[in-house]
Amino acid sequence: MGGAAKTRIVLLGPPGAGKGTQAKRLASELGLPHLSSGDILRAEVGRQSPLGIRAQSYMDRGELVPDALIIEMIASRIEGAEGFILDGFPRTVAQAEALEGVASIDVVLNIMLERGEVIRRLTARRVCSDCGAIRNLASEGLDESASCPSCGGTLSQRDDDRQEVIEHRFDVYTEQTAPLVSFYRERRLLADIDGSRPSDEVHAAVLRELTQ
Ligand code: ADP
Ligand code: ZN
């Protein structure tokens, strides 16, 4: 049947490494819930919930939202779950330690991408407001006014995908999230994936890690 042996999955890596793209594809192929902390937060901001209102200023500056808010938001969604794909959580050592108290993890996929490529990709990233697809103007040869190739919807740029904010997010990743690479390597959960390759090849590498 070829089902994945590992179903409690964490995606780690800098912004723009392709975590969201890979997570969505895996979630639909494996039938696992995709929990994107960024998507959940953006939805909270959209409806201006108390959490959304508190999170918004951090997100617009490219800073991390305080651990306590994030931990509660995610823990309530994974407690007792058989499987999940965590995308964007944990992002600090404190979050990783809290996660250990809530669920055990089968594998951490470390999708690696260097700074220059992160900046090139994110400045060209657009999101479809209708179907949620993540598109890249540069790699897909789309111009600024293009509409979504899958559904014809409107493509828009995330507020935090502006050059200065992108650079800051990368620095925040290096300082606060990169320490999780050794955290999970020590626990023998880490699998390194080269995120610079085409999306299909990254997906194939991810599947190999999940089934071995
Ligand atoms: P990216 O991975 O492309 O930077 P995300 O969509 O995962 O973007 O997150 C966008 C923003 O949401 C982050 O810059 C941060 O402000 C906030 N955020 C998301 N996940 C977390 C988290 N686990 N801890 C703290 N803040 C988070
Ligand atoms: Zn679309």
Going by pLDDT thresholds of 50, 70 and 90, the confidence category of residue 3 is low
Choosing from 19, 25, 42, 126, the catalytic residue is 19
- Average pLDDT, rounded, for the chain: 95
Answer yes or no: are the C-beta atoms of 86 and 75 closer than 8 Å. no
Q: Determine the Cα–Cα distance for residues 206 and 199; give it in Å rounded to an integer.
A: 10
Picking from 15, 198, 192, 205, the residue whose alpha carbon sits closest to that of residue 91 is: 15
Q: Using the predicted structure, report yes or no on whether residue 57 has a pLDDT greater than 70.
A: yes
Q: Determine the Cα–Cα distance for residues 31 and 25; give it in Å rounded to an integer.
A: 10
pTM for the model stands at 0.90
Task: For residue 1, report the distance from its CA to the centre of ligand 1, in Å.
Answer: 35
Q: Using the predicted structure, report yes or no on whether residue 200 has a pLDDT greater than 60.
A: yes
Q: What is the pLDDT of residues 124-140, one digit of tens each?
A: 999 999 999 999 999 89
Q: Determine the Cα–Cα distance for residues 47 and 167; give it in Å rounded to an integer.
A: 28
Q: Domain map of the chain by residue range?
A: 8-211
**54 carries an active-site annotation:** no
Taking residues 4-14, report their average pLDDT. 93
Q: Which residues touch 161 (CB under 8 Å, ≥6 apart)?
A: 122, 123, 125
CA distances for 75 relative to 127, 152, 160, angstroms: 27, 36, 25
125 CB within 6 A, ligand 1: no
Radius of gyration of the chain (CA): 17
Going by pLDDT thresholds of 50, 70 and 90, the confidence category of residue 212 is confident
**169 carries an active-site annotation:** yes
Choosing from 24, 25, 125, 135, the catalytic residue is 125
CB burial of 163-172 (b: ≥16 within 10 Å; e: otherwise) equals eebbeebbeb
Going by pLDDT thresholds of 50, 70 and 90, the confidence category of residue 80 is confident
Q: What is the pLDDT of residues 105-126, one digit of tens each?
A: 999 999 999 999 999 999 999 9
Least confident of 2-6, 39-43, 71-75, 159-163: 2-6
CATH number for region 8-211: 3.40.50.300
Q: Determine the Cα–Cα distance for residues 35 and 210; give it in Å rounded to an integer.
A: 18
* β-pairing verdict for 155-156 and 125-128: antiparallel
**91 carries an active-site annotation:** yes
Taking residues 27-33, report their average pLDDT. 96
Q: What is the pLDDT of residues 91-106, one digit of tens each?
A: 999 999 999 999 999 9
